[in-house]
Structure 1
Amino acid sequence: MTPLTYTLVADGPSDRCLEPIINWTLAQAMKPSAALIDSQFADFRDTPGAPRRLDERITRAVEQFPCDLLFVHRDAERDSPERRRDEIAEAIRDVGLAHVVCIVPVRMTEAWLLFDEPAIRRAAGNPHGTVSLNLPAASRFEVLPDPKQVLGDALLMASEAKGRKLRQFQRDISMLKHRVAELIEDFTPLRRLSAFQAFEHEVRAIVEAFR
């Protein structure tokens, strides 16, 4: 079976942690077929004249990472998800790619990784730890002012690291957030979040269009 190739254009390199979420959502939408998925992350950090505006990054991504499906991520942060979606629609207007999915978590991507405490503990290298991580209830994920900080603090607490080991751990936080996403096997709990519902609806509509 020919794989479905997608490219992710994200706000920043740490948002690569969206890839496991995208892969799971695509696989769910493609059932009962076996999902062969090839992912690409549009990272321009080491590219001379790296594009900065969203439309420029999308255009460069389509040129350098040809794909069947483009995912464009923008955190809502202090704006409404609707405004972010309008920004994406404007940015892709002249790209000429038929299949584009918006990913707009309310506030930040990290809100989508807070539901799996065992994955956080495993990513922190202390799977059998018992210290409380003070994780918020799922009903609060979309109203947290800074999910990035909440996840970072949870990883630090889960590690129970001290001294030099703690300082090294703090430097690795971005990488460990991606590890949390990799360790989560089932993202079903995200279906209670409005932003994920909108994302999954778009993915299913695109998959049906492919069929």
Structure 2
Amino acid sequence: MPLADLVESLFADRGIRLRLSKPDFSLLDKVPKDVRSRVTAGAKLMREPIDLVVVHRDSDNVGHEIRRSEIEKAVLAAGVMSSVVSVIPVRMTEAWLLLDEDGIRQVAGNPRGRHDLKLPKVHQVEGVADPKQLLKECLVKAADVTGRRHDRITKRFFQHRRQLLERLDCTGPVSELPSWKRLVTDIDTITEQWA
């Protein structure tokens, strides 16, 4: 899970080495997708005390504070007493990925492409109505292919998204976004509490 790797690296940058477990929910009967159910199931699968819970929820249209409160209440209701990192990109995680034009061209297989991808600027990206759709379109434009190759690029969206997340430069343009700054502040607060 690239977001877990990202959180691990942010902690490592602050001198804390941790390994986030990624619960395999398929080992249980169907687990509902709400935060409380997922945290409860994850704790059950871990079978040991949990120091840190990382929850990713896109803010969609409800906003950061409402989403954060929802996460904190769900973790408390699940009975898990640990630190919580809320990963809450504005709208969708794809908004963060729209800031890496070189990365988009690389994963699309056309690093020297010249088509204008019409990517939003840093101050605009969190206002994009559908970042996922825009990223899909940008990957196709960047690939600059037709026919079967076009179809292949379209079908590989989730692989490309994963690659972009793995490549995300934590000190690059994403570091200027309010949603990213809130994530970093949460991690800084936890590292101070743990010190």
TM-score between the two structures when normalised by the length of structure 1: 0.82
5 Å-filtered alignment, 1:166-181, equals 166-181=150-165
3-state DSSP of counterpart to 2:86: strand
- Tell me the number of residue pairs that the alignment of Structure 1 and Structure 2 aligns: 192
Q: Which residue of 2 aligns with 1:27?
A: 12
- Residue 176 of structure 1 and its aligned partner are, at CA, apart by 0.7
Percent sequence identity over aligned pairs = 30
More strand by share: 1
Which residues of 2 match residues 119-198 of structure 1 at below 5 A? 119-198=103-182
The offset of 1:45, in angstroms, is 5.7
Q: Distance in 1 between matches of 2:165 and 2:4?
A: 8
Where does 1:63-142 land on structure 2 (aligned, <5 Å)? 63-65=44-46, 67-94=50-77, 95-142=79-126
Instruction: Give the gaps of 5 or more residues in structure 1.
Output: 1-15
Could you tell me how far apart the structure 1 residues matched to 2:179 and 2:31 are?
Answer: 29
Unaligned runs of 5+ in 2: none
Q: CA deviation at 1:63?
A: 2.2
TM-score by length of 2: 0.88
Q: Relative contact order, CA 8 A, sep 6+: which one is greater?
A: 1
Is the alpha carbon distance of 1:112 and 1:45 closer, same or farther for their aligned partners in structure 2, counting shifts above 3 Å? farther
Q: 1:178, 1:150 → 2: CA distance?
A: 16
Q: Which runs of 4+ in 1 moved over 4 A?
A: none
Change (3 A) 1:185 1:159: same
Letter in 1 for 2:63: S
Output the CA distance in 1 between the equivalents of 2:26 and 2:101: 32
Q: CA RMSD in A?
A: 2.0
